Amino acid sequence: MKASGMARAITLLAGILGMAWTSVACAVPAYSRQTGQECAACHMGAYGPQLTPYGVRFKLGGYVDSDEQGGKLPLSAALIASFTHTAENQARAPTASTKVNDNAVIDQASLYVAGRLAANLGTFTQITYDGAERKAMLDMLDLRYASSLDLSGKELVLGLVLDNNPTLQDPFNSSPAWSFPYVQSSVAFEPGAATLINGGLEQRVLGLSGYLFWNKSLYVELGSYRSLSPAMQARLGLGREEDPGRLGSGTLYWRIAWTKDYKRHAFHVGAIGLNASLQPDRGQPARNDYRDVGLDAGYEYLGNRRHMVSVYASYIHERQTRGALLASGGAARLHGRVDEFKLALSYDLRETWDVTLARFDERGSRDAMLYGDGYTGGRPDTAGTIAQVDWTPWGKEGSWHEPWANLRLGLQYTRYDRFNGARRNYDGQGRNARDNDTWLLFLEAAL
Amino acid sequence: MKAGCALACLLLAAALPCLADGAAERGKDVYASECSDCHSVQPQKNKKGPTLFGIVGRRSASVPGFRYSDVMRNSGITWTPEQLRRYIAAPKQVIPHDRMKYDGLSDAGDLDDLMGYLQTLH
């Protein structure tokens, strides 16, 4: 085993894991201008990304619903700025332009192409400037064609979607790309393990899926992904350094869900999966195989929109066969697993004030090499609780400058019970999980 | 006896507006959960659907500035309470192939309350 190979494998893995820890918050008033509807029609709490049942149908319909007035440009801009404080300083500044603590950064300044491009063709595409990393990149890509037909009196929507992150195309609030927290600090701590389906391929791949949505209830999707070449990743502003490697041609993404919208309340249950084989060193044939299977569910009480409650839960199990990591010395065991559990409960008052309490728990099987430095007991286990309160003054009918502007101000606290395998001294240097507790004050704005 | 009847009538007369207000208030909630995503109740405020202000008694496809489907424009309907009720209960049966994707409101009580609320919008 070459030391450089091991370092590369670990770097690649860290890169994969790090990519799972980015913000997904988004709100695009371009949709509001296109449809004449306020943000609150599609989003719980009047700000993205948490979709209402109506928002789910708008997405699966291809982002093409409109008020038929024409002359609407599918363009929006958005900003996320934050201040992050951690209980104890980080060992190193998280990026070249930040400090070891108390960082005020522009997390994202984004341009969206969002809305109807043609009769049945719509998109949700985001180009982002990352203020912490000081680089611009193609962030989210969702380009879809959808058409509906009548099937014995029931509507059947058929669609094709091109996207750059497995689950980005998913419409439900419990799938990895869209689950709480919707905003996370870009300069705080990153847990040591995540499943591949939970952001591990984010932005570095291109996928094509076909889906059907029958009777506003049954959702079935099947698709595959190919990795972008390092040169293409560089051209898109992503850099070559965090290239996760080449995906095998048999990559399979699947999703099935059942949802019911009773108007005053709604629910969904589903299963999701990703089978992928990743060649981390494109010059070597060795591969790591990932088999991800997840279950998720959600319930939303919308009532008369003055008091709303939502609860989402998901569990993902990943089975890893780490041939490449084992060959390069990045892992001690060929087989391993990662399990992720998430639960989030939110209350919304008058589509303006939100309180959310969430629990996350990530566990992995023991591997002294893969989870060596910075871990205890060869385990990546990380668990904690997130509490958030946020204020969204606009985004409703009659709001200031509706449908041109939206704003959210939030305060989030993350408490770690366990980090990288232990509650205390997880890194062997005396650092405790609670030292990573994070306060995040954030501002989101969109126009 | 006459005095008793008069008192009962008086109490009933006093209660009727309250009962109507209660139905309209409940109807406002039904509107919020069933209609408000696509329809405003503000005058001249169109969303994906036309404003519901003044809907009762209005001719179909008559809100200025809203682009209706051909089938709605050609329907020739006037939204009397009876016609509107029938439409909200099963829109695709009353006007097939219209753009409105709403499946209909089947609960008779909710429909009563909603109609009560819509009739206050003028």
pLDDT, one tens digit per residue, over A21-76 is 455 555 689 999 999 999 999 999 999 899 999 999 999 999 999 988 878 899 99
Residue B59's pLDDT is 95
Closest residue to A54, CB basis, from B37, B40, B66: B37
- A21-30, A143-152, A320-329, B97-106: range with lowest mean pLDDT: A21-30
Residue B8's pLDDT is 53
Q: Residues near B97 by Cβ (< 8 Å), separated by ≥ 6?
A: B69, B71
pLDDT surpasses 90 at A204: yes
Distance from CA of A34 to the nearest CA of B (A): 9
Mean pLDDT of A116-130: 95
Residue A48's pLDDT is 87
Q: Give which of A221, A217, A75, A72 is closest to A159, Cα–Cα.
A: A221
Residue A401's pLDDT is 80
Residue A187's pLDDT is 92
Contact B38 A264 (CB under 8 A): no
Distance from CA of A169 to the nearest CA of B (A): 23
Phi-psi region of B46 (alpha: psi -120 to 50; beta: other; left: phi over 0): beta
Nearest CA in chain B to A350: B32
pLDDT tens sequence across B66-99? 999 999 999 999 999 999 999 999 999 999 989 8
A67 to chain B: which residues are within 8 Å by CB?
A: 46-48, 66-67
Q: How far apart are CA B49 and CA A194, in angstroms?
A: 44
Residue B60's pLDDT is 94
Average pLDDT, chain A: 92
pLDDT surpasses 60 at B45: yes
Residue A27's pLDDT is 60
Which residues of A fall below an 8 Å CB-CB distance to B? 35-38, 41, 52, 54, 57, 65-69, 155, 216, 263-264, 302-306, 397-398
Q: How far apart are CA B57 and CA B44, in angstroms?
A: 16
What are the backbone dihedrals phi and psi of residue A46, each rounded to the nearest 5 degrees, phi first? Answer: 65, 15
Contact B38 A37 (CB under 8 A): yes
Contact A35 B36 (CB under 8 A): no
In single-letter form, the type of residue at position B117 comes to Y
With 0.95 as the threshold, say if the pTM is over it: no
- A140-144, A186-190, A327-331, A405-409: range with lowest mean pLDDT: A186-190
Distance from CA of B47 to the nearest CA of A (A): 4
A216 to chain B: which residues are within 8 Å by CB?
A: 103
pLDDT surpasses 80 at B58: yes
Closest residue to B37, CB basis, from A41, A306, A398: A41
Residue B24's pLDDT is 81
Model confidence band, residue B3 (pLDDT cutoffs 50, 70, 90)? low
Closest residue to B33, CB basis, from A66, A67, A263: A263
Contact A263 B40 (CB under 8 A): no
Residue A18's pLDDT is 43
Q: How far apart are CA A54 and CA B47, in angstroms?
A: 14
* In contact, B60 and B74? CB cutoff 8 Å: no
Residue A69's pLDDT is 84
Between the CA of residue A377 and those of A64, A259, A319, A332, A336, what are the distances in Å?
51, 41, 20, 13, 15
What are the backbone dihedrals phi and psi of residue B109, each rounded to the nearest 5 degrees, phi first? Answer: -65, -45
Residue A71's pLDDT is 82
Q: How far apart are CA A241 and CA A331, in angstroms?
A: 20
Count of domains for chain A: 1
Report residue B4 as tokens. 């008793």
Residue A26's pLDDT is 56
Model confidence band, residue A338 (pLDDT cutoffs 50, 70, 90)? very high
What are the backbone dihedrals phi and psi of residue A274, each rounded to the nearest 5 degrees, phi first? Answer: -145, 125
Strand partners, B98: none
pLDDT surpasses 50 at A4: no
Model confidence band, residue A2 (pLDDT cutoffs 50, 70, 90)? very low
What contacts 24+ positions apart, CB below 8 Å, involve A3-7? A3/A329, A5/A281, A5/A327, A5/A328, A5/A329, A5/A330, A6/A328, A6/A329, A6/A330, A6/A369
DSSP letters, A412-423, are EEEEEEEBTTBS
Report residue A350 as tokens. 């008058």
Give chain A's length. 447
Question: Where residue B43 sits, what CATH number does that domain have?
Answer: 1.10.760.10
pLDDT surpasses 80 at B119: yes
Contact A67 B37 (CB under 8 A): no
Phi-psi region of A199 (alpha: psi -120 to 50; beta: other; left: phi over 0): left
Count of domains for chain B: 1
Contact A67 B67 (CB under 8 A): yes
Helix runs in A295-383, H state only? 323-328
Question: Where residue A380 sits, what CATH number does that domain have?
Answer: 2.40.160
Q: How far apart are CA A229 and CA A209, in angstroms?
A: 20
Q: Give which of A329, A373, A372, A370 is closest to A4, Cα–Cα.
A: A329
Q: How far apart are CA A255 and CA A272, in angstroms?
A: 4
pLDDT tens sequence across B99-111? 898 999 999 999 9
Residue B92 is part of which domain span?
2-118
Contact A37 B101 (CB under 8 A): no
Residue A138 is part of which domain span?
3-446
pLDDT surpasses 80 at B13: no
Residue B5's pLDDT is 52
Nearest CA in chain B to A40: B37
Cβ-in-10-Å burial (0-12, 13-18, 19+) of A358 comes to buried
The kind and range of the H/E element at A53 are helix A53-60
- State the count of interchain CB pairs (< 8 A) between A and B: 49
Please give the share of chain A, as a percent, with pLDDT higher than 70: 94
Closest residue to B29, CB basis, from A54, A68, A304: A304
* In contact, B83 and B76? CB cutoff 8 Å: no
